[in-house]
Structure 1
């Protein structure tokens, strides 16, 4: 009996001593894989991602504009005549001012690797100015008196270099080359103004006949170093490029029900795969092309569920992914309208909508709203 009392006393004393280690908020993460709930699954493996909504009011909000990084977006508000661009983290809801200016912001875009952001501003005197910003919101370069219209063609192989097509008052067009590292803006001597890089040394362009009503033109490549042109394909409606890939769009004839999408290796010029996309007819000299995005070897596009008349079409759309190397197609989610879209740098999320106010979770095949009023 005496031994029993001793054992009970030892147990009691032991239970009163502080434990060797306490799982506080500071170190619980180190042991989260060892903590098992009633389901038998460690909490670290059951963590739920929850998209946050933007906490702004409907009177100041203008639009969501661009991806800042893989989980952060940039959106624009207008408060008493002041344009403010905010950073918003979609999973935490954390928000921070990125840039502001006392003039209307018309457009915000980024270079391919999201290291430079371009803001188009409409000045009081009716001119357009462009601000090139780094990731800290600091102005790298300011382009003034830029003409009536301006189109940027980023070099995906040199993130601080781009070509700029400028529409002048007399409706002539000139090409400029901007190097943001050296802050040099120079003339780029080339007679074609719609160009895109297809690799480190070559541009591609459509050789349009301005006096023809044709939908298509031959596609040429241009070697910048050798200053040589080479015809790549005949009768192309449009072309688009991504790093290491080239997409051309063509048709059999104007009465066709499908557009032909052909994907090339942009270095070897070899055809990798082909895709047929239903046509929505415009009954004009303009050909309809659905919104699309590239990510690595994947092409995302909003596919009409059937061909038809663009202005009366009501059959819905489907967001589709297409593997350019293999030709494998996968449907992601149904959509009502062919709205603009922008893909996150990691390919997980897709901004979508008239104001890019919705977000598609590509992995979970879900559509969420970033704004609730």
Structure 2
């Protein structure tokens, strides 16, 4: 079997998410039993501990946040049978919540477009069937379709946020890929060599070519346009992601094989910055700690030392790398490596397996978004 690092990491995240769906909790109070709170006159990048009002829930509620709808609002799901088809909107400055979207089946996942204008909703009406929908910023339907599959991989195009690529997997891990446009309300089949892709422009993407024969823990980085043949752009990498006008690849440091080499390139594949950190090995190769790009800063979790991920007992430093100067800053120490969802406008990151905490970057503090 081919060792696909991205594939395995993706599946671990899916398994974690599915496991939370069985946790029973009390229904979110849709009407709210707290009087409205006057919203603070907040400007961009002023999020503070004093300004954030936690979401009031019952002790038995299980809330999962999906991310930022804008600088003030978050989208969340309450893991309870009668609310699994509902997405709620929550204002972090007033504590108010309201119903954002109600679907026809239990909601499995939500992906917010890079410009926060469109929301892809993935729900499961029956076994090996997915109902996929795109709704607008108000929660109104733009399109919906029913497709076959056991799992989905979703990638919004940050260069044209009206488009996204969806790959649907069969039980044998064969896949069918679709290019979907929220603008034209069109969904078309597209042939790609690898289902886990990262957009590089409005019509091209990069991916790791794990299709080579035999097991491997590093591979080639390739670029492919919507039409045309793929081209090899870099060798010996095991991870890639793209941001606006930048991409990051991770490989093994040639001089110190216990370190991971982070290399940042522009869209012409020219290196602009590189640094090394200790890495943690996993059954598929190496574990990639959580990270996010905010404007011109790359945020990531840095382990204390290199070892096997399963036996690692250290903590992580939450780091910021200035993409213009290369300067590294420790924002927070003794952190856990947990998922991130960051907002440039709020200058804050959702944090945690349920994204139910918030990292205030200016204050360098972590607070809970949940108040029991």
TM range (shorter): 0.7 to 0.9
Task: For residue 112 of structure 1, give the secondary structure of its aligned residue in structure 2.
Answer: coil
- 1:216-263 per-position Cα deviation (integer Å, ceiling 9, x unaligned): 1111222446x2433211111110000100101100479822100000
Counterpart contact for 1:81–1:103, Cα < 8 Å? no
Secondary structure of 1:311's aligned partner:
helix
- How far apart in 2 are the matches of 1:78 and 1:203? 35
* Corresponding residue of 1:217: 219
Report deviation, 1:315.
1.6
Q: 1:42-67: per-residue Cα shift (whole Å, max 9, x none)?
A: xxx9x984211101213333312211
Counterparts of 2:296 and 2:346, CA distance in 1: 11
Partner of 2:39: none
Aligned to 1:372: 371
Runs of at least 5 residues in structure 1 that lack an aligned partner in the other structure: 1-44
Secondary structure of the residue aligned to 1:74 is strand
TM-score, length basis structure 2: 0.81
Q: What is the match of residue 269 of structure 2?
A: 269
Larger Rg belongs to: 1
**Cα distance, 1:88 vs. partner?**
1.2
Per the alignment, residue 156 of structure 2 pairs with 154
The 2-side partners of 1:303 and 1:329 are apart by 11
Return 324-333 or 126-135, whichever deviates more. 126-135
1:362 match: 361
Give distance in 2, aligned partners of 1:114 and 1:147.
27
Partner of 2:73: 72
CA distance in 2, matches of 1:272, 1:213: 31
| Other-structure match for 1:183 | 185
Q: Tell me the CA shift for residue 126 of structure 1.
A: 5.4
CA shift, 1:347, in A, is 5.7
Matches of 1:235 and 1:133, distance apart in 2: 39
Task: Determine the C-alpha separation between the residues in 2 that align with 1:62 and 1:358.
Answer: 11
Partner of 1:5: none
Q: What is the rounded CA distance, in whole Å, between the counterparts of 1:176 and 1:102 in structure 2?
A: 22
Conserved 8 A contact 1:213-1:285:
no
Partner of 1:8: none
CA shift for structure 1 position 185: 1.1
Contact 1:320 1:329 in 2 (8 A): yes
Q: 1:122 to 1:213 in 2, by over 3 A?
A: same
SS class of match (1:194): coil
Task: Note the C-alpha offset of 1:300.
Answer: 0.8
The residue that corresponds to 1:171 in the other structure is 173
Matches for 1:1-373 after TM superposition, within 5 Å: 49-78=50-79, 81-83=82-84, 84-101=86-103, 103-125=105-127, 127-224=129-226, 227-252=228-253, 256-266=257-267, 268-282=268-282, 284-346=283-345, 348-373=347-372
Contact kept? 1:290, 1:301, Cα under 8 Å: yes
How many Å apart are 1:211 and its aligned residue?
2.9
Q: Is the 8 A contact 1:318 1:333 kept in 2?
A: yes
CA 1:210 to 1:234, structure 2 compared with 1: closer, same or farther past 3 Å?
closer
Contact 2:132 2:147 in 1 (8 A): no
Indicate if the aligned counterparts of 1:342 and 1:351 stay in contact, CA closer than 8 A: yes
User: In structure 1, how many angstroms separate the alpha carbons of the residues matched to 2:159 and 2:182?
Assistant: 14
Work out which structure has the larger RCO, using CA pairs closer than 8 Å and 6 or more positions apart in sequence: 2
Distance (Å, rounded) in 2 between the aligned partners of 1:371 and 1:293: 23
Residues 219, 237 of structure 2: 8 Å contact kept:
yes
Runs of 5+ unmatched residues, structure 2:
1-45
Q: CA RMSD in A?
A: 2.3
CA shift, 1:80, in A, is 5.2
When residues 183 and 93 of structure 1 are mapped into structure 2, their CA distance, relative to the original with a 3 A threshold, is same
Tell whether the 8 Å contact from 1:49 to 1:91 is kept in structure 2 after alignment: no
The TM-score normalised by the length of structure 1 is 0.81
The alpha-carbon deviation at position 200 of structure 1 amounts to: 3.3
Cα 1:126–1:335 change in 2 (3 A) is farther
Q: Contact 1:208–1:217 at 8 Å: present in 2 too?
A: yes
Query: How far is the alpha carbon of 1:118 from its aligned partner?
Result: 1.7
How far apart, in 1, do the equivalents of 2:173 and 2:309 lie? 30
C-alpha contact (below 8 Å) 2:49/2:367 kept by paired residues: no
